[in-house]
């Protein structure tokens, strides 16, 4: 049977990956906490991304900018004026919805019922109205499609209004001094405003990139589908600065590099696809999403955008500080240096929480094992060993005769290298099962033979196969398997 999102959410909670925020107060909508295993998996993903972007490229460096930025940043970026979602209220239930999402759900229901053409036609119409910013048109479409509020069951809708997604708060202690400040809705602007700082202090030559991992906040109106759409989330973004005219070449290169990354972390090629944007945002001259097939369908996981000089130029205009680069490479056409220009930018932007969800969904495996009477179901997380929260579990077969001490010695010899846990309670079969459920790729069992010949068994999570190996070889063997 296909895995549902409900199975995923339940497993994530039960085994310490993701908890609803402030759960004892019944939770906070669209906010989640990562538990003891979730944080390890998420950190492993972030580390791999960081390494792929910075360490494996000569010309990409990282920064860590603040969540708070000068309010004019968001004026320049366009977020104050146009980071809006169209919303609509139902007068009977008093519930608020995103107009575009109501229409998308309707399109989805046509498609699920087999009428793909009608679903697609509806999506096209939605796209047209969105780009025309036609709020009345959106409302009419909701009415003519007969879309009803799932709570009240009525179609007593208000008009459609634009709603800004940025969270704001006050800085300063006294009310009169305090001024409005936003929580960043994307990490990218922290990179743009530091473009010259990094370029100058790092003596960077174009083309070069700046990478960053950090929190972003959006007041999503309809937040659903677990960590797919949250109000507080984490982005992993990279802005790559290029000479104008060369952006398409870099756009294609990064698009392909990013697809390879997702496959390298274990997402199967058939569950990934590119989705080209037909309608481009005002700042972009090319844009593509990498979509993953979540249990609720193919959805955006990462965006790759060619943003031209839109952001740097806007910051230059508003701050009155030149955002130019002097390129002393010689232009073969003129025989002279390219000189001063505002660089173009190719951006890659992936949500750490969406990547986490994709990897988690993909790893969640339910299998029927055994024959006849012995048949049972086995659940485990088939994570790439490099991503697993715990790499090795060490078990003494019994809690006596020096086996625990021997097992502890092994733990000590491995723990500086890998995340290792020791467990001696319960039958060994139960201990294997507990590790399967959190995706531990290797379990080491210490038995009486270990005391005689210094060998142990390693049990492999995916095959449940066990092999006997000398203790002296453990570090090298496991090291090989957990590297990527």
CB of 139 to ligand ATP, least distance (A): 21
Q: Is the dihedral of CA 191, 194, 196, 200 positive or negative?
A: negative
Kindly tell me which of 305 and 431 has the beta carbon lying closer to ligand ATP: 305
Q: Which of 111, 125, 145, 220 binds ligand ATP (CB under 6 A)?
A: 220
Q: Which of 100, 247, 302, 309 binds ligand ATP (CB under 6 A)?
A: 302
CB of 400 to ligand ATP, least distance (A): 50
**Ranges within 155-174 binding ligand ATP (CB under 6 A):** none
Binding residue per annotation — 455?
no
Kindly tell me which of 40 and 186 has the beta carbon lying closer to ligand ATP: 186
| 12 φ, ψ (degrees, to nearest 5) | -60, -35
Q: Which of 7, 300, 423, 481 binds ligand ATP (CB under 6 A)?
A: 300
According to the binding rule CB under 6 A, does residue 86 interact with ligand ATP?
Answer: no
Q: How many residues lie near ligand ATP (CB under 6 A)?
A: 16
According to the binding rule CB under 6 A, does residue 307 interact with ligand ATP?
Answer: no
Other CB atoms within a 10 A radius of the CB of residue 298 amount to: 14
Compute CA distances 433 → 6, 397, 438, 448, whole Å. Answer: 21, 15, 9, 22
Beta strand 232-242 pairing with 208-217: antiparallel
CB of 201 to ligand ATP, least distance (A): 28
According to the binding rule CB under 6 A, does residue 53 interact with ligand ATP?
Answer: no
- CA 407 to chain centroid, in Å, comes to 37
Closest CA to 266 of 172, 173, 356: 356
Compute CA distances 320 → 71, 78, 243, 312, 323, whole Å. Answer: 15, 17, 22, 11, 9
Among the residue ranges 294-302, 326-334, 383-391, 437-445, the one whose residues contact ligand ATP (CB under 6 A) = 294-302
**Ranges within 172-211 binding ligand ATP (CB under 6 A):** 186
Q: Which of 350, 381, 393, 410 binds ligand ATP (CB under 6 A)?
A: 350
Kindly tell me which of 220 and 423 has the beta carbon lying closer to ligand ATP: 220
Helix (H) or strand (E) holding 275: strand 272-276
According to the binding rule CB under 6 A, does residue 303 interact with ligand ATP?
Answer: yes
- Residue 436 — left, alpha, or beta (φ > 0 → left; ψ -120 to 50 → alpha)? alpha
Other CB atoms within a 10 A radius of the CB of residue 127 amount to: 14
Nearest-angstrom CA–CA distance, 258 and 39 = 23
According to the binding rule CB under 6 A, does residue 349 interact with ligand ATP?
Answer: yes
Binding site for ligand ATP (CB under 6 A): 186, 218, 220, 229-230, 233, 235, 300-303, 349-351, 353-354
């Amino acid at each position: 049977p296909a895995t549902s999102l409900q199975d995923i959410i339940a497993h994530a909670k039960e085994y310490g990956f993701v908890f609803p925020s402030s759960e004892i107060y019944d939770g906070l909508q669209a906010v989640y906490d990562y538990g003891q295993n979730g944080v390890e998996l998420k950190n492993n993903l972030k580390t791999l991304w960081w390494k792929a972007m910075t360490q494996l490229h000569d010309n990409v460096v990282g920064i860590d900018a603040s969540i708070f930025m000068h309010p004019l940043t968001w004026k320049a970026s366009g977020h104050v004026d146009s980071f809006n979602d169209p919303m609509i209220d139902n007068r009977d239930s008093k519930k608020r919805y995103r107009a575009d999402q109501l229409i998308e759900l309707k399109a989805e229901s046509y498609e699920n019922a087999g009428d793909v053409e009608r679903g697609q036609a509806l999506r096209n119409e939605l796209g047209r109205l969105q780009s025309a910013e036609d709020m009345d048109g959106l409302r009419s479409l909701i009415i003519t499609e007969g879309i009803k509020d799932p709570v009240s069951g009525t179609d007593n809708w208000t008009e459609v209004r634009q709603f800004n997604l940025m969270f704001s708060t006050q800085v300063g202690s006294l009310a009169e001094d305090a001024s409005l400040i936003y929580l960043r809705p994307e990490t990218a602007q922290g990179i743009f405003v530091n473009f010259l700082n990094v370029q100058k202090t790092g003596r960077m030559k174009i083309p070069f990139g700046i990478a960053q991992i950090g929190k972003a906040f959006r007041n999503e109106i309809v937040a659903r589908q677990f960590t797919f759409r949250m109000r507080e989330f984490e982005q992993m973004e990279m802005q790559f600065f290029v000479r104008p005219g060369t952006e398409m070449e870099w756009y294609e290169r990064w698009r392909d590099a990013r697809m390879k990354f997702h496959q390298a972390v274990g997402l199967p090629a058939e569950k990934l696809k590119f989705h080209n944007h037909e309608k481009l945002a005002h700042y972009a001259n090319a844009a593509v999403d990498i979509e993953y097939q979540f249990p609720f369908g193919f959805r955006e996981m990462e965006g790759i955008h060619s943003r031209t000089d839109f952001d740097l130029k806007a910051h230059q205009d508003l701050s009155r500080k030149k955002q130019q680069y002097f390129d002393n490479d010689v232009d073969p056409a003129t025989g002279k240096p390219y000189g001063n220009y505002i660089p173009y930018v190719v951006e890659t932007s992936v949500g750490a929480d969406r990547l986490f969800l994709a990897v988690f969904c993909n790893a969640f495996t339910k299998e029927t094992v055994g024959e006849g009477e012995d048949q049972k179901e086995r659940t485990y997380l088939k994570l790439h060993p490099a991503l697993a929260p715990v790499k090795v579990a060490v078990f003494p077969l019994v809690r006596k005769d020096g086996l625990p001490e021997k097992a502890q010695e092994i733990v000590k010899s491995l723990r500086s290298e890998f995340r290792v846990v020791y467990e001696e309670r319960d039958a060994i079969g139960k201990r294997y099962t507990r590790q399967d459920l959190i995706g531990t790729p290797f379990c080491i069992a210490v038995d009486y033979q270990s005391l005689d010949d210094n060998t142990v068994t390693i049990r492999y999570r995916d095959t449940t196969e066990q092999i006997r190996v000398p203790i002296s070889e453990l570090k090298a063997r496991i090291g090989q398997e957990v590297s990527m």
